[in-house]
Amino acid sequence: MKITIIGAAGTLGSCTTFNLIVHSLANEILMIDTWENMLKAHYMDLNTAATGKDVLVRTGGYEEVPGSDVIIITAGAPSGVISSRMELLPNNLPIVRDIAEKINQFCPDAVVIIATNPVGPLNYAMYLLSASQDRRKFIGYSLNDSIRFQMMAAEALGVPSRRVDGMVIGEHGGSQVMLFSSLRVDGKPVTLSEDFKRKIRERVPNILRGYETLKPKRTAGWTSAIGLADVVRAIGKDTGEIIPCSVVIDGEYGYRNLSMTVPAILGRGGVQGIQELELAPGEQEGLKVSVGVLKEAVDYIEKDLGMSGG
């Protein structure tokens, strides 16, 4: 499998390249970035790290993208301290528009995974700008929300995180919906108090705030790289695994004309289906709020791109 990473010189792009190499998830990895010196530095190190692995790591331009099975987008505009990922939309949308043009020109049939924030709106923009508008081929990376949900629930329950499963849907942001009804310990449902749920939800704003307060000029590269490897593995090995991702909705959960996190069935060709869970009443209301946030972003995108929504 050939994978192209656009934005490979950044934290997320370089971490993802490393993880794909370590887990032997590609035969060829093409690294693209306009930050030339940093790209070369990462390439030199990663190419050495690939010694003994059956993978060709190289740098290049868009003219070398043809033949890619998967394209991972981690590129984004420099930003200052933010309070919401949605603040990144005006500056990152033009970048995504340019990348979409290149993909349409050089590799329109690839599965595109976007990890640039805000993930849901930008994944929908990629879909709108695509030559095929085949929603199966566009995936927004948002698994970190579910990973963090499992981590926080495990800490609150006092059990190792490997024993806990749980899922988050909706926006990859402040209005995300933690599905406590999906929470399992050793595969078994758990009964949780409203106070327990409230305390977990209150931790969500602190995740982004914690990074921004430190001003590290980096993203959660290692966490995202682990999750992106899971997504790539499901696609490359055609596993049919269910992974929460932001995907284009067309009637599922009662909504359409946007991209939001749902349990996506992933395999060869991208999204093979969407699992529709039975949501608790509070979760349904939470999703309605989250969709409202996402629709505001969709309105901005459609206006900016000169398109009318459905």
Count Cβ neighbours within 10 Å for each residue of 246-261 and write b for 16 or more, e otherwise.
bbbbeebbebeebbbb
Write the single-letter amino acid at 16: T
- The answer to whether residue 172 is catalytic is yes
- The full 3-state SS of 195-230, as one line of letters, equals HHHHHHHCCHHHHHHHHHHHCCCCCCHHHHHHHHHH
Nearest to 275 by CA among 193, 182, 141, 157: 182
Catalytic residue among 42, 135, 137, 172: 172
Q: Are the C-beta atoms of residues 125 and 305 closer than 8 Å to each other? A: yes
Q: Are the C-beta atoms of residues 131 and 104 closer than 8 Å to each other? A: yes
Q: Are the C-beta atoms of residues 35 and 9 closer than 8 Å to each other? A: yes
3-state secondary structure of 256: strand
CA distances from 261 to 10, 137, 141 (A): 24, 15, 9
Residues labelled as active-site residues:
172
